[in-house]
Amino acid sequence: MSSIFPPLDYPQGISVHSLLESAADRIGDRVAIRFEDQALSYREFNRQADGFARLLADRDVGAHQRVAVMASNRPEFFTSVFGILKLGASAVMISSAWKESETAHAVNLTEPVLAVTDGDTHLRLPAQLADRVIHLDDDPTVAALAGSPVEPVTVDLDWDQTEAILMFSSGTTGMPKAVRHTHASINAATIIWGSVLGLTPEDRFQITTPPFHILGLLNLLSSVWAGSSVRLHPRFDLEAMLAAIEADRITLEMAVAPIAIAMANHTDLERYDLSSLRYIMWGATPVTESVAQRVTERTGVPFMPAYGASEAPVLTSNPVNRPDLWRLDSPGPPVHDVEIRIAHLETGAVLPPGEVGEIQALSPAMMAGYLPTEANADAFTDGWYRTGDVGWMEPDGWLHITDRVKEMIKVKGFQVAPAEVEAVLLGHTAVADCAVFGVPDPDAGEAVTAAVQLIPGADASVEELKALVADSLAAYKRLHTVHIVEAIPRLPSGKTLRRELKLQFAPPSA
C-alpha cells in the first residue's frame, strides 16, 4: 500500500501556531472559521490569537507552563489555544461536560496555572484555579480582542521538544490519563490528517464533535494547514448539521457513531441537498456497516473509514484518492509513515497476517507520553505504542478491529467482542443505538448483556432481539440479558461508557 500512502515531509523545528501565521500571511482574507452568522478570516483569526497570547502574558503565563481550556465549541476556543501556544505554554484540553470530581482529577494531574472557561464551567474548577480564570463570556479583556491589533509575543524555543497539547484518554477502563503531545507530534498529525483527507483550499467542512477531542482539534488544524474553512457548531444538532451542508456546500463531513446513527434514523433525510459532499469520514468509533449503508442508500454519499487514537492520532485510513477501494469492513491500511503490527495478547509475540491480537503502532505523530508517568510502562513495548485495541491484518495491510482488550467479554473461556454483537443489533430496523458488555456470571464467568435504545415509535421485544443475535452469531455470543433503555451513555467523542452500564446492570451479588 506504499504507493497509496507515500512518505511525507515533516518540517523540523517549527511551531504549531506557525501554521496559522503562515496562512494569515498567504491567504489572510480567506474565511477560516464560520460560526453562526460570523465569518472569521485567517488574518483576524491570527490577530485574535496574538491578542490572547498578550492577554495571557499579562496574567503572568509563560513558556513551559500549562493553561486549562474548558470551554465549548466556539472560535474563542481555538484563538485561546493558539494564543497559549504562541507563548510556548501548553493547552490542557478539559471536557466542558465534566463534573467537579473529574475536573479536579484533570487539574491535579496536569497542574495548569490558569483556566479559560465559558458558560458555567468555571464553577466546576477546583479551588486552586478559582481566582485564575479567563471567562470567554464575562471577561471584558476577551471582548477587547476584536479591537485594535496588538504587538505579537515572540518566543524562541526548541519547538520539536516543547509540549503543546494535553488531552485526556477516554477513561473507559479507569481514571483518564493525560496524553502529552509536542509541537512536532501535533504538526506531524496535522500533515498526515490533511493528506489523508485530501484537503485543498476549496474544501469546506464542519466540526460538530467537541473541540477538546483529538478529532475536533485535528480537523481545525488540518484546515489551517490546507487553507480551507470550517464551520463550528456549539453542539451536535442534526438539523443544523444537515442544513449547513446544504447552505455552505460542505464538501466533507465527519461522523462518529451517534452522528451516523442519527442520520440513518432521520425520517426526512432526503429533503436535504447533500450533493456537495465528497464523502463522510467515519472515525473515533467502529463502523457499523448496516448504518453506513443505510445513509449511503438514502443520500448517495459514500463513507471513508479511518482509525486513530488520541495517543497516535491517525493510524489507518481508506485511501481518499482511490474510492474504488473503499470498504466498510476495514478502516484501511497504515497511512503515511505509520507502521502497524499485531501482537499476541498474552506473550506479546508479533503475529503473522490473519492472526488476532493487540494492535501496536509506530508513528511520527505518536504522543510524548502519559501523565501520570507511571502509566507509560504499560503504554509502550520496544518503543511501539500499545493501542489496547484488538484486531488482525490482511497480508496487504488492511486492518480489522474487533474490540478493546479490556472490553472483551469472556464467556466460558471464549472471547466475545462487543462491537460484533452491537453490529447485529444495529441491523434491526427498530434499534436506534445499543451497547453490549459483560456482567459477572457464576457459571460462564461473564454473561453477554445488551442495553438497547429503540427508535421512537418502533417496537422490538427482548426475545426478538435475543433471537436476532442467536441466529447471527455463535452460541457463546448469544445475549443473556437485554435491557431497553432511554439512551446509551457515551463520551462526547461517541465512545460508549460500558463501565457505567456494567455498574448499573451488574447482578446484586457481583
Using DSSP's 3-state secondary structure scheme, residue 205 falls into strand
Using DSSP's 3-state secondary structure scheme, residue 303 falls into strand
36, amino acid identity: E
Nearest to 97, CA basis, from 216, 248, 5, 235? 235
Could you confirm whether domain 17-324 is CATH 3.40.50.12780? Answer: yes
- Position 170 scores a pLDDT of 60
* Exposure class string for 322-344: b at 16+ Cβ within 10 A, else e: eeeebebebbbbbbbbbebebbe
- Position 494 scores a pLDDT of 80
- Position 1 scores a pLDDT of 47
Long-range contacts of 238-241 (CB under 8 A, 24+ apart): 238/262, 238/263, 238/266, 241/206, 241/208
CATH: 2.30.38.10, 3.60.21.10, 3.40.1280.10, 3.40.50.1370. Which one for 337-405? 2.30.38.10
Residue 152 grid coordinates: 505579537
Using DSSP's 3-state secondary structure scheme, residue 27 falls into helix
Strand segments (E) across 94-234: 114-117, 133-135, 163-168, 178-182, 204-207, 229-232
- Position 100 scores a pLDDT of 85
Q: How far apart are CA 460 and CA 428, in angstroms?
A: 9
The residue ranges of every structural domain in the chain are 17-324, 337-405, 409-505
Residues linked to residue 316 through DSSP beta bridges, in sequence order: 307, 334
- Position 432 scores a pLDDT of 94
224, amino acid identity: V
Give the phi and the psi of residue 401 in degrees, each rounded to 5.
Answer: -105, 125
CB burial of residue 5 (10 Å; 0-12, 13-18, 19+): buried
Indicate the class that CATH gives domain 409-505. alpha beta
Mark the ranges of the chain whose per-residue pLDDT is less than 50: 1, 172, 510
